[in-house]
Amino acid sequence: MNNIVLFIDSLVAGGAQRQLVVLACALADRGHKVEVVTYHYNDQLAPFLAKKQIAWKLIKKSAWLDFGFIWALYRYLRNKKPDVIISYLNTPNLWARLVGRVAGIKKIITSERNIDIDKSKVRLLIEQTIYPLSSKIVVNSNAIKQLLIKHNIPEERIETIYNGLDTDYFSEADKRAVSRFRAGLGIAQDDFILMLPGRIMQQKNHLGLMRAISMLESIPETLKIVFVGNEIDGSIKQQLMQLIEQNGLIQQVIFAGVQDNMPLVYSASDLVVLPSLWEGLPNVVIEAMSCGRATLVTDVSDNALVVEHGKQGFVVPVNDDLELAKQLRTCLTMSKSELLVLGASAKNKVNSICGLRRFCDAYEQLLR
């Protein structure tokens, strides 16, 4: 068994953070000694670690270049002497590589989890310069792997591992609990819930969804648009509110904030939509699928491989409000039972490609 340090910025309930916690729990269940290290304090995901008795250490970092943090991380790694560091996200990857190598850690597995790496020349240059410090670079989609290869990262250094998912946890919730949840939001049982689970930020494209909805010839009163997640970008939230008011949808849009019981949230929806401008492999899509829900996604990264158009949900071009509106129109004319048929197919599909056993097996192979 291995002594493993998993390193990320914080335990905020974001996609990468949730995946790292899933990995920590899965490895601990298999007998590995696991500790999670962060440099910002946010404990949203801490209960999942506590449940598995996984230690969480905070090494505070107050600036991008914080020599006190670098020294503290170095001392921690020298004393801990882990067999391997597994890091998620760009800044943790940087310090895991640089400080980890100086501290004598021989196996460092970093991760690239989004397809936007070439949007920043500085970020791309850093990756091209220091990738040799990584034993392996794990990506969560084949599209990201091809992008890295295009930018001269050797193929043999890259491993594709789809996001892991506890399909027992992400399953359809009890119907009575779903009814109570909908009632708590003021939503009638016959209403149609169109749900976008994602932080309010440019990437998730809430504005594109609202523009597409505004293009519908008529918006049924039974349509309820539910936004779930942190409100990260105040400017986008303001623009979103303007669109909602302009289209007279104040009574039909609900900001549900961060939710602890996501299987219940997905189960309460009729269609889960994620019109992202870029992604890696979005957790919310595979989670919703595992809960038996059809999804409407944009054709970013491997989305079209995970969600086959017309079989588990629907795929539209990126940043194309008109096509999104057309597909929304089609979905709103479907019966809930028709959407549930797609959801059943989605559940079977995601169980086969994102199951926890497959996810953990792939990482253990890297550890060996």
Q: What is the distance between the alpha carbons of residues 15 and 25, in angstroms, rounded to a whole number?
A: 16
Amino acid, single-letter form, for residue 90:
N
For the whole model, what pTM was predicted? 0.85
Burial of 352 (0-12, 13-18, 19+ CB in 10 A): exposed
Domains of the chain plus CATH, in order, are 3-160 (3.40.50.2000), 175-354 (3.40.50.2000)
Question: pLDDT confidence of 185, banded at 50, 70, 90?
Answer: very high
Query: Residue 33 has which token pair?
Result: 């000694």
* Mean pLDDT over each residue of the chain, to the nearest integer: 95
Identify the DSSP state of 115: T
- What's the CA angle centered on 235, arms 186 and 10, to 5 degrees? 80
User: Does 117 have pLDDT greater than 90?
Assistant: no
Q: Are 259 and 268 in contact (CB under 8 A)?
A: no
Q: Average pLDDT in the 205-222 region?
A: 95
The sign of the torsion formed by the CA atoms of 66, 68, 73, 75 equals: positive
User: Does 280 have pLDDT greater than 90?
Assistant: no
- No. of H helices and E strands in the chain? 15, 13
Q: Is 187 helix (H, G, I), strand (E, B) or coil?
A: coil
Question: pLDDT confidence of 13, banded at 50, 70, 90?
Answer: confident
Q: Is 242 helix (H, G, I), strand (E, B) or coil?
A: helix
User: Does 118 have pLDDT greater than 90?
Assistant: no
User: Does 119 have pLDDT greater than 90?
Assistant: no
Q: What is the distance between the alpha carbons of residues 41 and 212, in angstroms, rounded to a whole number?
A: 37
Q: What is the distance between the alpha carbons of residues 230 and 243, in angstroms, rounded to a whole number?
A: 19
Q: Are 118 and 153 in contact (CB under 8 A)?
A: no
